[in-house]
Every structure is written in C-alpha cells, then in structure tokens.
Amino acid sequence: MQQLRPIVHPGQADTLVHFCGRARPTNAPEAAFLSPEERLSNIVAEEVLRAHPTHGNPNPVVCFSESDHGGVEALLRHFQFDGWGLIVQRQWAWSAGGGPVWYARSEMWERVCSQVDRDALAFIVRTEPGSADWLHEREWRVPCPRGELPLISVEVVALLVSDAAWEPRPIPEYVAYDGGVWADVTPRLACSVPRWLWDGIAITQLPPLDERVEIWPVQP
C-alpha cells in the first residue's frame, strides 16, 4: 500500500479521531444503552471498532474526523461530542480501505445517489446549510462489509478520556504465575498508548495506564 503524502498544510492532520458518543442518538443497537466511556472500554478490551450504516448509506462503516490535538479540542468545545474516543493514524485508515467523504450539495447528492453503485454511497454525504451542514467534521469513513474493523495497536495514537481515573474493563487471561493461573488483566492497548484527558476546556496528555493483574481466587 502506497503512503499518503506527508502533511505540510496547517489545515490538515495526519491523525483521525473516532468519538464514542455525541448528543444525537446512536444507530448502533449494541451500543445504544452504553455510556461513551463503556463503549470506549469495549473497544479497548476487544481491539475492534464496530461498523454501522449511516444516513443515506446502507453500508456498514466506521466514522472518523480528521483532527490533530487542536482539532479534537475545537470539536469538543463547539460541537456536541462526548470526550471519549480514540485517535488513530490517518495512513492506517487509508490502508484499511478508508478515505475522506465527499460533501455533496443536496441537488448533486440526489442525482449521484440514484446513479452510483452501492459501495460508493459509503463516501457521499448530503450537504445543505441549515439542515445538513457537517463540513466541520472533516469526515473519513472505512467501509466494513463484515461489520467490524480490527484495531492495530501500533496505529493507535491515544485514547481520549474525560476522567483521569477511568480504566477499561479488565479481560480474563491465563498468566504465567505460580504454575499458571487465570487473572483479570488491564487490556494491553490501554497500557501502550497515552491518554488525552479532556477537562471541558483543554486536553492534557497523560501517560498510558499501568498494567493491573488481579488473580482469580482459588476455588475450594
């Protein structure tokens, strides 16, 4: 896979943010009753992003916004996103089959949607000032026919959190201790990337979480 051109324009970013929540309801049934921090916990534990269709697009996709550190802060300050998510490399999304969407004017969107193939609909967003103006999102999408996008930990830049004390749910793992035992272990992704802490005003970078291992009690 060829590499994208290195970023030189100050209005571009080589990172993408995937938010785990926003003011409007989600169309993901398995996440509808989860809080944004619970959704992030599942993503970190499973190392998978779930894909879903979007408005006007029947294909399951994972959505991102092209944003660097300052861009994430701007989206959190001025729009109704929750301060929970993860930041990934833009190149990784491209290599996974993703790319930026086309913000098409309403009249063009209607014409195009009746002519293009189903797969192309994943990258077209209707744009109408006052009712469907999403230009600020600078959206990228990764089509996922199988409904999920496995994460590659080395391509994850940071975890976006709104609570410095947050920890993801532990995962059961067989560890080499005292001949081998089962334990609850902090997911490796949380221990390998920094955290971007959003305090409602600005983002502060925190180090990765320390690994925690809690050995299961021995059954009598």
pLDDT of 26-42, one tens digit each?
A: 666 666 789 999 999 99
Above 70 in pLDDT, residue 49? yes
Instruction: Give the rounded percent of residues in the chain with a pLDDT score beyond 70.
Output: 93
Confidence bin at 112 (pLDDT 50/70/90): confident
* 143 within a domain of the structure (yes/no): yes
* 7 within a domain of the structure (yes/no): no
Mean pLDDT for 54-78 is: 94
* 35 within a domain of the structure (yes/no): yes
Alpha carbon distance 123, 104 (integer Å): 10
Above 80 in pLDDT, residue 74? yes
Residue 173, Cα to own-chain centre: how many angstroms? 25
Above 80 in pLDDT, residue 218? no
* 217 within a domain of the structure (yes/no): no
Mean pLDDT for 98-111 is: 93
Above 90 in pLDDT, residue 212? no
User: What is residue 26's predicted lDDT score, i.e. its pLDDT?
Assistant: 60
Instruction: Give the rounded percent of residues in the chain with a pLDDT score beyond 90.
Output: 72
Above 80 in pLDDT, residue 58? yes
Mean pLDDT for 118-144 is: 93
- Least confidently predicted of 21-30, 168-177, 210-219: 21-30
Alpha carbon distance 31, 15 (integer Å): 24
Cross-strand partners of 206:
195
Rg (CA), the chain: 19
Name the residue range of residue 82's domain: 15-153
As a three-state string, the secondary structure of 79-139 is CCECCCEEEEEHHHHHHCCCEECEEEEHHHHHHHHCCCCHHHHHHEEEEECCCECCHHHCE
Higher pLDDT, 25 or 211: 211
* 29 within a domain of the structure (yes/no): yes
pLDDT digits (tens, 9 = 90+) for 135-188: 999 999 999 999 999 998 889 999 999 999 999 999 999 887 767 788 999 999
Above 60 in pLDDT, residue 220? no
User: What is residue 146's predicted lDDT score, i.e. its pLDDT?
Assistant: 93
For the range 48-55, what are the long-range contacts, defined as Cβ-Cβ under 8 Å and sequence gap of 24 or more? 48/148, 48/149, 48/150, 48/151, 49/18, 49/148, 49/149, 49/151, 50/147, 50/148, 50/149, 51/142, 51/143, 51/144, 51/147, 51/148, 51/149, 52/27, 52/28, 52/147, 53/27, 54/27, 54/141, 55/126
Alpha carbon distance 109, 103 (integer Å): 9
* 216 within a domain of the structure (yes/no): no
Q: Which CA distances in Å does 39 have to 53, 128, 142, 169, 206?
A: 18, 31, 19, 10, 20
Cross-strand partners of 99:
141
* 147 within a domain of the structure (yes/no): yes
State the total domains in the chain: 1
User: What is residue 176's predicted lDDT score, i.e. its pLDDT?
Assistant: 75
* 205 within a domain of the structure (yes/no): no
